[in-house]
Each structure stands twice: as structure tokens, then as C-alpha cells.
A and B are shown apart, each in its own frame.
Chain A
Amino acid sequence: MSKELIAKFDRIHVEYETARDLLNTKSMEERKSKTHQNDLSSGRPSLRSDIILDAINTLNDAYALILIATAEAFMREYLQSHLSVSPRNPNLSFLIKQYRIMFNKTNPTNKITTERYIEFNELREQRNNYAHGIRTKVFLPVGKIVSILGKFFH
């Protein structure tokens, strides 16, 4: 089952990279086409290229959220089928903790280590921070998130 999940992460990653590359190409085109104009005026990038840069950042955020939500849905389903009693709306912190406990109880050769557990919890904190934090709102790059989730669900 987790093989399917990891394949899903990989598919999301490819989709993200494709969209990012398209935006990167567009951004480069904008830079080239506006270079002369910028030299003549303020030297600052055009509004349009600012919007493309914002879009590249939003893309990372959006796919980070999709990856975390995909993992969350997987763990919720896993725990519903393995726990006799589970909360109606378990939060992500509960899901990560219980999933690790339940998975490691099956005596796998590849137990979920504390390091992997901490890494996933940091993604959770980034997600929570994004929604209501007072700190800088930033996610890890999508490639790194795929790597963290891939190791957790390996």
C-alpha cells in the first residue's frame, strides 16, 4: 500500500517540476525581454516578472500542502482500518504519532526512526505556521518534502 503512496508522491513531484519549469522558462523570457527597458528605467524587474516569481513560490507552497494532505489521508485510512477506536477527526500530530506506533508494531525491517518522525513533524509545523503563524511562512522545497515523506513511508 505504501508503494502506491510513494508512487503518488513521485507523480506529484513530477507534476510540480513540470509546472515549475514552465514558470521558470516564462520568467527567463520576461527577464530577457525586459532587460533593455529595465536598464532605461529603474533597474527593477517588471511587475509581470514579479508575479511570475510569486507564482513560482506559490507553486512550491501548493504542492507542499498537497503532499502533506496526501500523506494525511493515507494515515487516516490506515489507522481507521487498524485501530478499534479512533477519534472522529484526528489531527495530523495524532496521525503521525499513531501511524508510527502502529507501523513499528508490525516489526518491519525498516522501522520509522525518531529522526524520520521529527522530520515529518517539522513539515506539520510548517503547514500550521503557514496557516496562522507569526513567523516566516516558508516550506522546504518540494523535492526535499518528497524525500522526507518517502523515507517516512518507505
Chain B
Amino acid sequence: MIVIPEWLDETSKIKYENEKSMLEAIELYAQDDGWKVSDGSDLSPFMRQRTDVLLEDTKEESSLRLAVLVKSSNNRGMIRVDASYLLTVVLVYQGKKPIWRVEAAGIRVLDNFMMDSAGWKWLVNLLFQQ
């Protein structure tokens, strides 16, 4: 199951193709890793309106909430990732180079983030290291 929020296709001038591709990749690798993917409809209304995609690791009782940020330019893009252990990172699309950067509290953590199997494991480790 791949969840792509409908609102990403509801704007005519601004395209969210990069964000959609990244969401899809994250969801695929999460599912391969045994995580459950949903649109977060089981969350409280308060959390639901802050969530586009919910990833849950039922074994570890961990979850990740993904939310696409509104933008004003096609060559940009940001996805907020909130972990159930209260850490937050932002994936920032670099328009001039088609790559994603990972930031925490406005500080660069990784400049060239690739969402593949290793990238998924790196992200989970970053967000859930205690």
C-alpha cells in the first residue's frame, strides 16, 4: 500500500512530484522493513491534520509521521519527519541539484540523502537512537 496525499495533486501551478517520489520511496522501504503504512486516519484529529503518511513499527511500538510542507516554487520541497520518540528532521529538496538534504533544527545532518535500503536504515537509526 502506498499513500500519497490527495492535496499534492490539487494545485495547478505548484507541482509536488519530488515530494511524491520521496514519499513513495520511504513507504516502500518501510514496508520492506516490516513497517505498516497508512494515512494516519486512526490518529487523533489533532495529529491527523499534521500527518500525511503514518509509518508504524508494531514490534517496537515506534512510529514516524511524514508531512509535506506547502511551498511556492517547483524546484524546492520539504518533508517533515516526526518520530514517536520526539525527534524531528526535515528532508529538504535541493532544486539546483536533484538531491535531498537532511536537517535537524535547521542544521545540516546529511547533504546527499539517498532513499534506498541503506538510507532508510540510516534514517530510522538517526531518529530512534536513544
Contact = CB atoms under 8 A, between A and B. Distances in A.
Contacts of B68: 136
A140 B70 contact: no
Interface string A127-154: 0010001111110110111111000000
Given A27-B86, A118-B76, A147 B106 contact: yes
A147 B52 CA distance: 25
A28 B69 CA distance: 28
Nearest to B80: A138
B73 interface: yes
Contacts of B7: 134-136
Contacts, number: 69
Interface residues of A, number: 28
Contact of A54 (B44, B51, B52): B44
Contacts of B106: 141, 143-148
Given A43-B61, A134-B7, A141-B88, A57 B69 contact: no
Please list the 7 inter-chain residue pairs (A to B) with the smallest Cβ-Cβ separation, ordered nearest first: A143-B105, A147-B106, A138-B67, A144-B106, A135-B7, A143-B106, A125-B70
